[in-house]
Structure 1
Amino acid sequence: MSALSDLQQHLTRYWALPYHDDEALDAKLKDVQAWQRARIQRTHSELFEQPKNKPMANYFLTQLYGGDEFKLLAKQLERILPKAKKLEKLAKESVLQTGTMAVQAAILAIELDMHLAQWLMEQDLAVNEENMLAAYRAVDEADERRLQINNLKDVCYRTDKYLNSFMLRKAFSFAKSTAYNRGYQPLYDFIDAGFTAMKPLKSVSDFIEPFCKRELQIIDQVHQADSNNNVEVFAVS
């Protein structure tokens, strides 16, 4: 199956999520996503505030963990995909696969947060640390959260691999004007955003390894039965 076929499947799954047709759930999901972004920024403030890491941090929070921005991208991709087969001739299949994996990672993050939002709505609870901890434990998707983090790591390493390949980088750069002229700008820009975010990094591992280590620690802490209702589990010293 081609990268674009995979992308179509992921988008079909995305548009089937119930929050698109439920204003209350959509609002609650936005609250959950805002809380998640604030929590991630707080947890990784030291890492994110290093000048060389700021573009990558912004990429995570807007592209891979975006709300309305991702919905706009999904709408654009849905519109161009039926005529986008020629795009596979403009960019390497491996690069398109990486872009597709990034879209999949973003969708999984949205889906998991939507499950938290659904539980909070059912319990008529506001979005705060205490209630988010209860939601995480009630929904109990620790394995899915670990998969989400590992998918992000995979996307970053694959993007870094192509960024450091002179031939692939040049081929992708040369395809820009053609991609724009043929209406494939959204997908091109989404992939290119990952390249741009990683350019300042001496090594992507210096960013992604500590990020993923902390996130996995938090997942473990949140789901530890003996941690009671202590919201300190959302922090990692």
Structure 2
Amino acid sequence: MAALADLQQHLARFWALPYHQDVALNTKLDEVQAWQRARIQHTHQALFEQPQNQLMADYFLTQLYGGDEFKLLAKQLERIVPKAQKLERFAPAAALETGSMAIQAAILAIELDLHLAEWLLSQDLAVNEDNMFAAYRAVDEADTRRVQIGHLKEVCYRTDKYINSFMLQKAFALAKGTAYRYNYHPLYDFINAGFVAMRPLDSVGGFIEPFCERELEIIDQVHDTDNGGKPLAFGVS
């Protein structure tokens, strides 16, 4: 099936990233991602604190934004995906494709922050607001960051479409026993976590649209060469 073939390619790309073999770069990337998570929480505090949005906010920050949890998931997936053909026969293709897209979005976020970390390391700079602003401009990947935001939005809308389909939900629930029997539960649980996080939302658009709109505004502000100031939403030391 194309979904798991795509997932294998995404994982191969992830493990080829240089920070896995470079302690200093790995440390700098950890610092960049910690700063980014704090920045995202600061920027979207009002949105994230709404009761119906809290599970989705946590899913964004822990599942879709790198860190140790994602590395552990990647290790588990690397082990099971080449042998997961049996799961393909039971789990809906739409669910597997959505999970693959979510992992691709997470890896792209890591790659983009890795480029910031590489620049900061080359300049021997600490991770703080001023230096992150300089790194964003020096690396200059505004268009790719817009693509990243688009991927997040697509994953959310595809997941929303899925959880609103009774037949797909039923088929996915029935696949759980097979997934656990054959130790494919890391993939199953990752996909299911997105569904669980989204269910309390009043509407997916009510969460993802303001999130993406503000992120795109920040990208524009950071890369506006006529504007020498940092975006107000950075607000993280």
Structure 2 unaligned regions, length at least 5: none
Aligned residue pairs, count: 235
Structure 1 unaligned regions, length at least 5: none
User: What is the aligned partner in structure 1 of residue 32 from structure 2?
Assistant: 32
Look up the equivalent residue of 2:47 and give its one-letter code: L
User: C-alpha separation between the residues in 2 aligned to 1:230 and 1:105?
Assistant: 26
Matched-pair identity in % = 72
User: C-alpha separation between the residues in 2 aligned to 1:158 and 1:95?
Assistant: 9
User: C-alpha separation between the residues in 2 aligned to 1:81 and 1:53?
Assistant: 31
User: What is the aligned partner in structure 2 of residue 160 from structure 1?
Assistant: 160
User: C-alpha separation between the residues in 1 aligned to 2:197 and 2:70?
Assistant: 17
User: What is the aligned partner in structure 1 of residue 220 from structure 2?
Assistant: 220
TM-score (norm 2): 0.97
Indicate conservation of the 8 Å contact 1:30/1:67, yes or no: yes
Matches within 5 A, 1:61-140: 61-140=61-140
User: What is the aligned partner in structure 2 of residue 183 from structure 1?
Assistant: 183
User: C-alpha separation between the residues in 1 aligned to 2:58 and 2:233?
Assistant: 25
Q: Which shows bigger deviation, 165-174 or 224-233?
A: 224-233
Q: What SS does the aligned partner of 1:150 have?
A: helix
Q: What SS does the aligned partner of 1:225 have?
A: coil
Q: What SS does the aligned partner of 1:64 have?
A: coil
Q: Could you tell me how far 1:66 is from its partner in structure 2?
A: 2.8
Q: Could you tell me how far 1:95 is from its partner in structure 2?
A: 1.2
Q: What SS does the aligned partner of 1:226 have?
A: coil
TM-score (norm 1): 0.97
- Is residue 4 of structure 1 aligned with residue 21 of structure 2? no
Look up the equivalent residue of 2:120 and give its one-letter code: L
Q: Could you tell me how far 1:93 is from its partner in structure 2?
A: 1.1
Q: What SS does the aligned partner of 1:234 have?
A: coil
User: What is the aligned partner in structure 1 of residue 211 from structure 2?
Assistant: 211
User: What is the aligned partner in structure 2 of residue 147 from structure 1?
Assistant: 147
Q: Deviations over 1:122-176 (max 9, x none)?
A: 0000000100000000000000000000000000000000000001001101111
CA RMSD, 1 decimal: 1.1
Q: Could you tell me how far 1:195 is from its partner in structure 2?
A: 0.3
Q: Spell out structure 1 runs of 4+ moving beyond 4 A.
A: none
Q: Could you tell me how far 1:229 is from its partner in structure 2?
A: 4.4
Q: Deviations over 1:161-212 (max 9, x none)?
A: 0000001001101111111111100000000000000110121000000000
